[in-house]
Structure 1
Amino acid sequence: MEIMYLMIGLSLFMAIGFVVAFVWSIRSGQQEDLITPAMRILHEDEKTKNL
């Protein structure tokens, strides 16, 4: 039964860590523009053809 208390404590600690990392990523602007990086790879071929 003691291992259950340890596992619950560790899982709560990890969950809090994930929430802190998520909030930090939102505040630092990591999640603002998710479309542009995916579309950028489609337009790079046009630049290399001109070389």
Structure 2
Amino acid sequence: MARTELRPVVKLRSTAGTGYTYVTRKNRRNDPDRLVLRKYDPLARRHVGFREER
């Protein structure tokens, strides 16, 4: 049970507006704010920021 509380599954949505998403886990203690990662968006064909969606 402790695993789901500390490292929840979060959905990362593209900021390019394509609707493409990634799914990952995050450590709530290290990253309490919304996560933003720069990843590849195949619909936009470039690297863009992916923001955590709640």
TM-score range (shorter-chain normalised) is under 0.3
TM-score, with length taken from structure 1: 0.24
Could you say which structure has the higher helix fraction? 1
Could you say which structure has the higher strand fraction? 2
Which structure carries more relative contact order (alpha carbon 8 Å, separation 6+)?
A: 2
Larger Rg: 1
